[in-house]
Structure 1
Amino acid sequence: MDQAPGSPDRPQAAHGLPGCYRHPGRETGISCTRCERPICPECMVSASVGFQCPECVRTGSGTGHAPSASRPRTIAGAELTSGDPRLVTKILLGVNAAVFLAVLADQTLADRLNLIGLAFDPRIREVVGVADGEWYRLLTSVFLHQQVWHIAFNMLGLWWLGGPLEAALGRVRYLALYLLSGLAGSALVYLLAEPNQGALGASGAIWGLLGATAVLLRRLEYDLRPVIALLALNLLFTFTMPGISWEAHVGGLVGGTVIAFGMVHAPRGRRTLVQAGVCAVVLLVSVAAIVLRTQSLLT
């Protein structure tokens, strides 16, 4: 059971680091700069110096420090919103599940939405693919799954990684991270894979969240060894197991890492401008790769 906000106790987590005073099971190395209670990424509110807990922000009281800005913000500068902290994550889960059920009902849907560079479809006797003008495949494939194990694995990753990132970045920034990571993964698949090789799944976006998690934990001065071990293990599977599109994983990882770095390290005075600029750079690089590949396939 969670301790009530305002408790002076400092709950101790299992591995020695203190636990968040609002979520005792979550280890953290960050404390509120006003009341000095330990706080996790979901509870952190960006202040002029360091981070504050929601209780201190709401009451404007503390240990003699001046009140912070009237509108509390996350570590990435997003205004704190009321309501479900995992709203966007749940919507993404719902969209993936809905597309999966639609594919079960109509098996031809997967062929119309998956990522194909350029290929001749003998069933409809037409050329199909991104190079033939079907640009939507670059994003629809990110929400497309055919096997139960595939969607289950990706959605577990989305749930575990997405919630803390959504709380730390804010809904709009988090959604941009997810979509641009997925697009970056699709762009690298399109650029490097055989044009008639189909690809689908949310793996590129999930790897973007994994890279963003590493960046966030480093920014908060957490122990990165568990995340590095997870990354290394997943990279091993990516490059040794057959049937896995390594291009989607690498593209999503690089895109998500770059975006997250820009979001959590942007200078306070130009935060929104820098964050939008980093997202624009990832988008432009992805578009450039797509245009380059399209030209090479059509010439």
Structure 2
Amino acid sequence: MSDEQSAPVCYRHRNRETYLRCVRCDKPICADCRIDAPVGFQCPGCVAEGRKSMRKTRSAFGGRASTAFGGSSAGAAGTVTKVLIGLNVAMFILTLAVGGTAAITSSTQLHYALAEASVFQYGQGVFHTFANVELFGTMYSLPGVSTGGEYRMVTAMFLHFGAVHLLFNMVVLWILGRVLEKDLGSLRFLAVYLVSGLVGSVAVYVFTNPITLTAGASGAVYGLFGVLILVNRRLGRESSGIYVLLGINLVLTVVMGFSLAGHVGGLVGGLLCGAVLAFTPASQRKVLHWVGFAVILAMMVVLTMWRTDTLLTQFGVA
């Protein structure tokens, strides 16, 4: 048979005969290379070129929506939600690995007298180093929040007091996180999660006994409630179920003696972030969303500095 009469071969796989052709460039493509298009098939090269020139579809809050030809953005896939759950689970496993079964407790909040050295036996150093706690003096070697341990306000968000505590927070994070990440996009979702959690940590620092040991993703999770309420309002979606779930959780917070300051603080942080997202004009959201988050962070810095000065003066450390 002559070359003119032989079947064409895929331009990417020279050993595969094919009669399929790209509707854009007319190159022969095999079944593995073809990509379904609204009309006919396209080759990978033409699809890639088309995506470069295509205007990115954005959600109502500026997040990247699903991509063409059945693909999805990181936000639509819930990537950040999954990573956050993974980090929380990994830290819990680390706590168990270092502290053994003694690191599991049904308590969600532990109070210690200032002189009790046993505070650091819980988790064998993990909570010692990363939980949100204020301790004065040098008897424990590591600083409290007011003496250089401000990092505790962030790291405490990834520690949990037991398997039930972890499970409850991760289930709610999975339910709310995927919805919000799809609405907001991955970066904005991560920002509101961390900012809400930080507001909860600052609330604990400002409004609770300085010898209170707190930890957990609850502040950030409650922040997601606040954000979702305002996002739903902005999008005209029903929120009655969210209000019921939030009310039940707040009642449990009071009845079970959980960290009310941390939970309510996280909720307030979420409402603040939600207000930034919902009420910023669409034409200015690319900049003003991040400016709004920065303003909330600046407020938390001021509150932290004020509380630190108050505590150091009160205990005669200054």
What TM-score, normalized to structure 1?
Answer: 0.73
Q: How has the CA–CA distance of structure 1 residues 175 and 206 changed in structure 2, closer, same or farther, with 3 Å as cutoff? A: same
Answer yes or no: is 1:285 the counterpart of 2:299: yes
Tell me the CA shift for residue 128 of structure 1: 3.1
Aligned to 1:100: 92
Answer yes or no: is 1:268 the counterpart of 2:260: no
CA contact (8 A) 2:64 2:73 kept: no
Aligned to 2:59: 74
Aligned to 1:296: 310
Please say which of residues 165-174 and 71-80 is displaced more in the overlay: 71-80
Q: How has the CA–CA distance of structure 1 residues 109 and 264 changed in structure 2, closer, same or farther, with 3 Å as cutoff? A: same
Q: Distance in 2 between matches of 1:121 and 1:161?
A: 41
CA contact (8 A) 1:180 1:283 kept: yes
Q: What does 1:135-284 align with in structure 2 at a 5 Å threshold? A: 135-242=150-257, 244-284=258-298
Residue 88 of structure 1 is aligned with which of 57, 80, 84? 80
CA contact (8 A) 1:186 1:204 kept: yes
CA contact (8 A) 2:129 2:142 kept: no
Structure 1 counterpart SS, 2:60: coil
Q: How has the CA–CA distance of structure 1 residues 245 and 120 changed in structure 2, closer, same or farther, with 3 Å as cutoff? A: farther
Q: Which runs of 5+ in 1 are unaligned?
A: 1-54, 56-68
Q: Distance in 2 between matches of 1:205 and 1:146?
A: 16
Q: Identity of aligned pairs, percent?
A: 37
Letter in 2 for 1:112: T
Letter in 2 for 1:95: L
Structure 2 counterpart SS, 1:145: coil
Aligned to 1:66: none
Give the number of equivalent residue pairs: 229
Letter in 2 for 1:132: T
Structure 1 counterpart SS, 2:277: helix
Structure 2 counterpart SS, 1:128: coil
Q: Deviations over 1:128-159 (max 9, x none)?
A: 31111011101000001130000000000110
Structure 2 counterpart SS, 1:252: helix
Tell me the CA shift for residue 265 of structure 1: 2.9
Which has the higher Rg, Structure 1 or Structure 2? 2
Q: Distance in 2 between matches of 1:290 and 1:230?
A: 31
CA contact (8 A) 1:185 1:204 kept: yes
Answer yes or no: is 1:116 the counterpart of 2:101: no
Q: Distance in 2 between matches of 1:120 and 1:105?
A: 29
Letter in 1 for 2:58: R
Q: Which runs of 5+ in 2 are unaligned?
A: 1-37, 39-53, 67-71, 99-122, 314-318
Q: Distance in 2 between matches of 1:110 and 1:120?
A: 18
Q: Distance in 2 between matches of 1:112 and 1:70?
A: 47
What TM-score, normalized to structure 2?
Answer: 0.68
Tell me the CA shift for residue 166 of structure 1: 0.4
CA contact (8 A) 2:61 2:282 kept: no
Q: Deviations over 1:84-111 (max 9, x none)?
A: 5110001101110111111111122112
